[in-house]
Each structure stands twice: as structure tokens, then as C-alpha cells.
Structure 1
């Protein structure tokens, strides 16, 4: 009985400790974080409401260079390349196509915290990453109803991610956030590499006189034309208005609707720019299949987190309590005492001799 009681007590305590460790240490520290083999693939579709073709522009054909209502596709691939403890080197690759033809490909590498998903600076020295700030590729596990800071790689600036509301998306109760990145100078070399760096002065005159510019920009251009060189340097700005639907448990983005604009301007010696015309005005969102895939991944991740962080600890807690109570009950039971020997002599036990 003593061995049984001790065994129940030991196993009960082990279950209680295991429940606490699973709920408050193992799941938050090792389960609810970006896995070392993490990959995300998303596809977005929409329209280039306006798109400048640099190749046609270089031929001097301004009217044909500006295209309207061009089908747009963006394919995004995010993956963890390396890990070091709670730090991860993660890459975000995006390929943009217009009417099926690739027009741009970018790859941004970030060092992030695997739990908060925030960009970090204290990473291994051999990691070559963008010195980003805030959230870069997704929201954290256990996203909250609060505002975050998001990273805009085109301009290398941060943008508030404002919490708006709860909303159902693909059967999941999501948190909806909004990002409004104001117009800022594009500094990313990958994007600038596919945009014209200069514009011939003659083509610029044609642009001002051909009615392609609004009246205000045309008047401003007419004033500065006499001061410009034969090859006019260009600068570009980027503006973004996006809405994100986020699964709060895993931080995965279930859907996103984006409206983005890139504007070309004349780069003045003062460092400022005079806006000319949009080179890309785009609106796009997750495809139905991509959004459904994100929802399925979120459900799987949520199930793993709940089983390891909630259900399993509850089961271990219940088993532990039962075993400890059983040990206490066994301790309260006493083995019955052995019967004392009798003092009464046995009857008819003496021998006698018959007489003849």
C-alpha cells in the first residue's frame, strides 16, 4: 500500500509540474514562435490603373508609354533562412507581373524576433539584413487589439498599423488593421533599378504641352523648364493604403487589400522633387485560393497551440489532481490489526489410561 501511495503522489506531482511547464513555458517559448522551417506563399491579383512602360518611354513615345487597366499579379514567398535561438533571418520575395509579363522582383532580408515578429538589430554578425523597424512580414502570435508599427520597404520608413475592428474572414474571426503610408521618397535600390533615372528635356516639354499633366503640375513645370539640364534627373515617391485581416492566434494575414501609387518627379538640386505623373497606380488583394490557404494554415497553427498550450495542460492538471488525491486517500486508510492469541486452554486435550 505504501508503494502505491508514493507512486500516485510522485506521478501526480509530475503531471502538475508538466501542466504548468506546457502552459507557461514550453508553448509560449518554443511553440508559439516562428518555426525554423517556416514558409508562406501568397498570390495577389488586381489591376494597374496606370503603368509606365520604361522601354517604350526610352523610345520617345510618351503616349504609348502610359498604359491603363493592366492586369496585375503579385506572387510572394516568405521563408526562414536561418535561426539563432529566438532570432530568425527571414526573406520576403515578391514578383510582380503586368499582363503576365514580369515587371519587377524584389527580395528583402530581415532579422526578426521569432515570437514578437519585430525587426531586431542584435542579430548574428554574418546576417546581411535591412535595418528595419517594427513588423515586417506578419503580426505576432497572440496579436492584440492595439496599434503596431509596420515597415515600408520601398521607402524604408515605419507606418502605423491601426486596429479597427473584429471581422469574419474565411470563417475565422480576424482583427482588422489599417496602414496609411504617406507619400515618401523611394530609396530601395531594387525598385529604383527598373525605373528611369533621367528624362530627356525635349520629352519633358512634350509632357507639359501634351495635356498629360494636371493644370497645376503643368504650370509648375513650365516655370522650371528653363532651369533644367538636357537630361533631367528623376526621383520617385511611394504611397500606400492597405487593410489587413489578421488571425489573432497565429498572426497570419488571412487577406489584404492594397492601393499603392508611385509618382515620378523632377529631382531638384535642393533635394526636393517636383511631382510629374504616376508611373504605377495599383490596387490588388489576395486571391480566393490564397486567402483560403492562409485560413487553413491559421486553423492548423491555432489547433497546435491550443492542444499544447491549453488542452494538454488541462488534461495533465486533472490527472495530477486525481493522483494526488488518491495518494492522500490511501494514506488515510489503516491496515487492520492482527487478532491477539487466546489465553483459554484447549478443552479435552489430556490423555488417561483405562483400567482392566
Structure 2
């Protein structure tokens, strides 16, 4: 006597379903729960900016040295350029534009990050990725309610990204993180484009024309400066990020970034004038698009990580139960 062919088929099918459940959860899901190799996205911010006016500086008309409170947009583009196992090499480009589309400022960076937790990774051979520590472009794919370390490009240091509660953004649950960084400007691309010194009369004119209510150095302090004033620069960045709790996608963000020119005065560092002051937040269109992407990604990850494996396992259990029930009703088959 032997088990019937049907019983063998049912038993084998149940085993296949269990195996498929395990493969989906422990192979397919981890393979997809990482930064995709074809990632390419652009997030738009809008707000205002105060900048030095290059045309006025070049012409010597220092009465128009500043472009103050310009309406601007800031497009940040993230693109995966290469992958190597758990490492992704990512281009991080930002373009600041005026209302008429005029390009006002740009920045370009390349990072090597872990495709799952988004922290630093050793750059693959031949890559031009910059050194950094902690997070730099985005958040882990499963963000936690805790503080992280975030890389500030202006000061070239890792600073705390402090967890500040959970809010709702476009119907999605979002963890909120605050980042603040202040220190000497050490980003080589930005610092290298700024003058190391300026004539005292130019500095005095820039101080006199600086916008905003900030306190200005007095005439006595300016008069005590050397004829050629050595300059240093301070970078201050304030960020606030709303991060999707399920997928780690950034749903919204705000950025206030300033670079101030300083020199050594009689009583210590003397702040002279702003070089850049950009204050922007995510546009409604970009926030809505990110929320839609997060919803789609969340459904896929749930299907692969929970729904699919669980469904396959339930089918396997039902099939096993049916096989046992059938075997009891038809215990043997005679030759």
C-alpha cells in the first residue's frame, strides 16, 4: 500500500508554498528593501534668498551689492550613479534659481552610502565620492523614533538630527527631525570661490549696504581694520525634515542656510556681511508627489514583507489541513 498520487501532489504543493513564503520574505523582500539602482528624483523647495550681487561687485556699484529677499526655488536632484553590493554611489546636485529661472547658485556632491540604512560606506574603487559620516541625502528605509547623525556639508561635520515627534503629512505618518549646524565654512567648493581678503573701503561699503535688521559693526571697529581685511566665513544651517514612518522617504523639508563673512576685530570675531542667506521649504506639489511615492512603496513593501509571505503560508497550512483531512477519509489506495 502507498499514499495516493494526489496526496503526494498536495503535500509537495504545501512544501512549495512554504518555501515560496520564505523566499519572498527573506530573499525578495531584502533585495527590494534598499535604494534601487535606478533611483532618480527631484524635490523642489521655494522661499527667499539674500545674495551678493555679482554684477554690482564687478562694476564697483556697491550701493547695489546685495540681492535681498529674492523669491527663489531650489531643486535638489538625487540620482544613483553606480551600485556595488550594499553600496550606492549617489550624485546630489542642487540648483538655486530666481523667479524668472535665472540660475543663482549651484552645488554638486557625490556620496557613497549604504543602500539600506543610508549611512556612509567606503567608496568603490575609481569613485569620486566625498568623505562623510552618518546620513547625508536621506533617512534609513525603516526610520526609528530616535536621534541620528547627519552630515553638514557647509561645516564638514556630523551633527545630531534630533527626533522631534510624529506628525501627519498628506495623510502619511511622518517622523520629524531637527538639524542645526554652525561652524567655520570648510566646504572646499564654496569656500574656494570666496575671497580671502578685501580692501577696507569695500568691506565698509558692504557693511553699510547689508540688508536686514542685524547689528552692524560700528565705524570705530571698521576703522581699526587693516587696509586689506582678511576674511573668514561661518556657515549656519537649520533643517527640519518630515520622514515617512513606513518607507523612510522624505515627505517634506525646510532649509535655512547662511554664510556670513567675518574678520578678527579688536574684541574677537567681527561679523561683517552675509554672503548667502537661503530660507526655503518644500512645495505643495513636491510634497504630494513624495506622499504618493511613499504610499506606493509602502504597499509594495507590505506585500513582499508581510502580506505575500503570510498569504502563502496560510495557503500552505490550508493545503496541509486539507491533505490530512483527505488522508483520514481515504487512508490508503490499493494496487
Cα pair 2:66 2:209 within 8 Å, conserved: no
Structure 2: how far apart are the matches of 1:162 and 1:68? 31
> Residue 147 of structure 2 aligns with which residue?
147
Instruction: Label 1:209 to 1:113 Cα distance change in 2 as closer, same or farther (>3 A).
Output: closer
User: Structure 2 stretches of 5 or more lacking a match?
Assistant: none
Cα pair 2:217 2:271 within 8 Å, conserved: yes
Cα pair 2:96 2:103 within 8 Å, conserved: yes
> Residue 4 of structure 2 aligns with which residue?
2
> Residue 239 of structure 2 aligns with which residue?
242
Structure 1: how far apart are the matches of 2:189 and 2:210? 31
Cα pair 1:104 1:191 within 8 Å, conserved: no
Superposed, 1:213-232 pairs within 5 Å as 217-218=217-218, 221-222=221-222, 224-225=224-225, 228=226, 230-232=227-229
2:190 aligned counterpart, secondary structure? helix
> Residue 349 of structure 1 aligns with which residue?
none
> Residue 285 of structure 1 aligns with which residue?
281
Check if 1:265 corresponds to 2:287: no
Structure 2: how far apart are the matches of 1:87 and 1:278? 38
> Residue 201 of structure 1 aligns with which residue?
200
- In the TM superposition, what is the alpha-carbon distance from 1:190 to its structure 2 partner? 2.5
1:78 aligned counterpart, secondary structure? strand
Instruction: Label 1:108 to 1:214 Cα distance change in 2 as closer, same or farther (>3 A).
Output: closer
> Residue 42 of structure 1 aligns with which residue?
43
Aligned residues: 328
1:22 aligned counterpart, secondary structure? helix
Cα pair 2:17 2:312 within 8 Å, conserved: yes
Cα pair 2:143 2:246 within 8 Å, conserved: yes
- In the TM superposition, what is the alpha-carbon distance from 1:106 to its structure 2 partner? 1.1
Instruction: Label 1:214 to 1:336 Cα distance change in 2 as closer, same or farther (>3 A).
Output: closer
Structure 2: how far apart are the matches of 1:294 and 1:41? 10
RMSD: 2.5
1:149 aligned counterpart, secondary structure? strand
Instruction: Label 1:77 to 1:337 Cα distance change in 2 as closer, same or farther (>3 A).
Output: closer
Cα pair 2:207 2:216 within 8 Å, conserved: no
Question: Per-residue displacement from partner, 1:219-273 (whole Å, max 9, x unpaired)?
Answer: 6833741xx2x433322111111211111222111111222211011279xxx95
> Residue 185 of structure 1 aligns with which residue?
184
Structure 1: how far apart are the matches of 2:306 and 2:13? 20
> Residue 354 of structure 1 aligns with which residue?
none
Instruction: Label 1:205 to 1:47 Cα distance change in 2 as closer, same or farther (>3 A).
Output: closer
Structure 2: how far apart are the matches of 1:336 and 1:189? 81
Cα pair 1:77 1:94 within 8 Å, conserved: yes
> Residue 110 of structure 1 aligns with which residue?
111
2:132 aligned counterpart, secondary structure? coil
Structure 2: how far apart are the matches of 1:24 and 1:288? 37
Instruction: Label 1:211 to 1:147 Cα distance change in 2 as closer, same or farther (>3 A).
Output: closer
Question: Per-residue displacement from partner, 1:134-189 (whole Å, max 9, x unpaired)?
Answer: 111111111111111111112211121111111111111111111111x2112223
> Residue 14 of structure 2 aligns with which residue?
12
Structure 1: how far apart are the matches of 2:334 and 2:87? 65
- In the TM superposition, what is the alpha-carbon distance from 1:306 to its structure 2 partner? 0.9
Superposed, 1:250-329 pairs within 5 Å as 250-266=247-263, 274-329=270-325
Cα pair 2:216 2:272 within 8 Å, conserved: no
- In the TM superposition, what is the alpha-carbon distance from 1:305 to its structure 2 partner? 0.5
